[in-house]
Amino acid sequence: MEWNFAPVLGGMDLLLWGLLNTLKITGLALAFGVPLGLGLALMRLSTLRPVSMVSAFIIEFFRTTPPLVQLFWFFFAFPILFSINMTPFTAAIVTFSIQSSAFFAEIFRSGIQSIDHGQWEGSKAIGMNRNQSLRRVILPQAVKRMIPAFMERSIELLKTTTLVSTIAYTDLMYQANDLAQRTFRPLEVYSVVALIYFVLIFGFSQLSIMVERRLAKSGEGTVG
Amino acid sequence: MPNLAKERWVKMDHNWDFATIFQNWRVYWVGLQGTLLMFGVTVTFGMFGGLIIGILRYIKHPVAAWPARVFVEVFRNTPVLVQIIWFYYAFPVLTGIETSPFQAAALGISLNTMAFSAEIYRAGIQSIEKGQWEGGKAIGMNFAQTMRRVILPVALKRVLPALTNRGIEVFKMSTLASVVAYVETLLQAKLIADLNYNPIESYTAVALIFFVVLYPVVQGTYALERVLNRSDR
Amino acid sequence: MTELIRVEGLHKSFGTLDVLKGIDLQVNAGETMVLLGSSGSGKSTLLRCINFMETPTSGRVYLNGEAVGTAAGGKTRYKEADLCKLRTRIGMVFQHFNLFPHMTVLQNVMEGQLTVLGRDKSEAQEKSMSQLTRVGLADKAAEYPSRLSGGQKQRVAIARALAMDPDVMLFDEVTSALDPELVGEVLKTMRQLAEEGMTMICVTHELGFAYHVANRVLFLDQGAIHEEGEPQTLLRNPQTQRMKEFLEGHALFKLPE
């Protein structure tokens, strides 16, 4: 067989458009998922048992069910149940926001719990309430420790976004399928697309390793 | 009027009807068997292969360490769905060997798992104190004996929680095989949804199946971590 | 006197740092030799070169008159299998015990006999129990190391080394990691071994042990043997300023009047 990259290069604009959409989905899911994750983590740490249990259930449910199942549910079942329109785009954003928030919640929780108990007592002693302690004393310290786990999870999210191709959202994976079918060059198309993903994800991984090293040097412990 | 608005936005009167699901339990059962087969094959190859690659990486094998590193980086840094699809559509063009949906998905997921577990094993072996190597050496053990009898037993115990987590991920990953039409739980749910026009029940059912299978496992890993944290022997 | 170990022209460097600068040394059967020296003097490295935990940069080591390794074109080559065999003849006890945490005390002592020497199980068990009795820990045979005190761990480590029936035992600062009240039991075990005629080379800061138990003391400084002699003479009348300073640094030790 002979490699022929001409058809792939001809479709490069399609692939780049798909890549842009991949990044868009990842970015938006992060933007919603992180605050949502913090909320879930705070609920989970609440002293009110029902609140903590509800949060624990949400977290465990979204961590133990496959993301593709969640995506299908939000795309095929959710719109009928609530009589609303769900585009592939909104289904993807909703699914990946909630799915990653469950993982972010656990990162926030272990980050907050890793802070020495004395920090809570110190802020209590100067008259801070729970909220103030959390915002002013605990979180600023915890966030620094969470950065490596946070970046790792973001990379996982980026990989997971390939699933949106199955509900026909035009991400990089979908464009690849499309191009491969039209050009009859699956080998070149999928190899190039794998390479694009590799460069992107490997780049982010190296970045996160660098950040982790710098944090380790500054003497900050990290949580996984 | 407010009632009407509510009616439009939230269809509270949806009749949950799981009867069709129960009538079709055999379809799900076939799917679950497919899921379990995929999981069993990929987790076995992934975890054993990963151990070998992890050790090659650890000992910085003069010939194999570099390819092992490339392998790990490639499979860790590309989405597993891309890997499955590559093995289904691209691999046959490259090699002339046709791959069935099962083979393509099993290859993608196994190799992906090998790459991830290799790094887990490597970190585990690296975490063992240098003194343990010296202890083995001092009573005349060679490298292989020390590795097998002294280092690995402790290292494997240390990475057990990380490996179980990886196993849970592999189980969830098996749903991706549906994309190349391998018969597993999600594909069967899709079949039922298309035949009976009941996506709500059929997809809820498959989510519940995964939750019911994995929730006890996850709880088990938490317990395992607590036990391992308590005993340092 | 039969020579057990001989070291000739031993050099060891780590990168550009020369840790040992030509050591010549002979240990006879039944001798207890103590290596003294401040940290960085190279005494631990010397000990670790004798059983090849470190590979010497140059120089030769002889066990029972036989050279270790094969000389080839100015370089000495060491095969892993030969070194493993050598290490079964030379027991070693470490500062941090290095017991295997996933094995019981008995399994720890049996491990080398089973895996390396290929003894059968009942023989290894019998041997192990007699060595554990020797160090006074037969009743701890079924315990895991994590349940033992530091002193007990160190005595198990001694039993583990002894169970291989070595010709010579190396002790590398074996009391340095112990709480002060646990040092005595380990030194007592070592003294008993010396009195039973075991050949021993010990790196230690316990001058009392050197004075009362050793036949010969070597003082190392900057990677070379600085002074050497019988402990009663050497520790009372050091000839060099370096050794005087070293001994004064150990003010806690008072020589018997």
**Predicted confidence (pLDDT) at residue C90 exceeds the cutoff of 50:** yes
User: Please, are residues C208 and C154 in contact by the beta-carbon 8 Å criterion?
Assistant: no
Q: Interhelix angle for B65-76 vs B25-58, to 10°?
A: 140
Average pLDDT over residues A78-105: 94
Burial class (CB in 10 A: 0-12, 13-18, 19+), A44: buried
B interface with C, Cβ–Cβ below 8 Å = 129, 131-132, 134-143, 145, 149-150, 153-154, 157, 231-233
Residue of B141, B149, B233 lying closest to C84 (CB–CB): B141
- Per-residue pLDDT band at A144 (split at 50, 70, 90): confident
Residue of B141, B149, B233 lying closest to C144 (CB–CB): B233
**Predicted confidence (pLDDT) at residue B11 exceeds the cutoff of 60:** no
Could you report the per-residue pLDDT of C96-128, keeping only the tens digit for each?
999 999 999 999 999 999 999 999 999 999 999
Torsion sign across C-alpha atoms C250, C254, C256, C257: positive
Look over chain C and give the mean of its residue pLDDT values, rounded to a whole number. 92
Instruction: State how far residue C221 is from chain B, nearest Cα, in angstroms.
Output: 26
Verify B-C touch: 3 or more CB pairs within 8 A: yes
Does residue A184 sit at the B interface (CB-CB below 8 Å)? no
**Predicted confidence (pLDDT) at residue B202 exceeds the cutoff of 60:** yes
* Predicted TM-score (pTM) above 0.90: no
Q: Where are the alpha helices (DSSP H) in A67-222?
A: 67-72, 78-82, 88-113, 117-125, 130-132, 139-160, 172-183, 186-217
Residue from A40, A74, A84 nearest A59 by CA = A40
- Per-residue pLDDT band at A203 (split at 50, 70, 90): very high
Model pLDDT, residue A123: 86
User: Please, are residues C5 and C26 in contact by the beta-carbon 8 Å criterion?
Assistant: yes
> What is the interface pTM, i.e. ipTM, of the complex?
0.91
Model pLDDT, residue B1: 37
Model pLDDT, residue A223: 60
In chain B, whose CA is at the least distance from the CA of A78? Answer: B200
Q: What is the CATH number of domain A6-217?
A: 1.10.3720.10
Model pLDDT, residue B12: 54
CA distance B215 to A89: 29
- Per-residue pLDDT band at C256 (split at 50, 70, 90): low
Residue from A25, A61, A169, A190 whose CB has the most chain B CBs within 10 Å, to mutate: A190
SS3 string, chain C, reads CCEEEEEEEEEEEECCEEEEEEEEEEEECCCEEEEECCCCCCHHHHHHHHCCCCCCCEEEEEECCEECCEEECCEEECCHHHHHHHHHHEEEECCCCCCCCCCCHHHHHHHHHHHCCCCCHHHHHHHHHHHHHHCCCHHHCCCCHHHCCHHHHHHHHHHHHHCCCCCEEEEECCCCCCCHHHHHHHHHHHHHHHHCCCEEEEECCCHHHHHHHCCEEEEEECCEEEEEECHHHHCCCCCCHHHHHHHHHCCCCCCCC
CA distance B130 to A1: 51
Residue of C81, C101, C111 lying closest to B139 (CB–CB): C111
Average pLDDT over residues B158-174: 95
Instruction: State how far residue A178 is from chain B, nearest Cα, in angstroms.
Output: 13
Verify A-B touch: 3 or more CB pairs within 8 A: yes
- Those chains having 3 or more beta-carbon pairs within 8 angstroms of chain B are A, C
Could you report the per-residue pLDDT of C204-219, keeping only the tens digit for each?
999 999 999 999 999 9
Does residue A53 sit at the B interface (CB-CB below 8 Å)? no
Q: Which two tokens stand for residue C229?
A: 């002699």
Residue of B9, B85, B94 lying closest to A83 (CB–CB): B9
DSSP assignment string, A192-208:
HHHHHHHHHHHHHHHHH
Cβ count within 10 A of residue B152: 18
Q: How many degrees, rounded to 5, is the angle at CA A146 between CA A44 and CA A214?
A: 170
Does residue A81 sit at the B interface (CB-CB below 8 Å)? yes
Residue of C80, C85, C92 lying closest to B138 (CB–CB): C92
CA distance C23 to C9: 5
**Predicted confidence (pLDDT) at residue B233 exceeds the cutoff of 60:** no
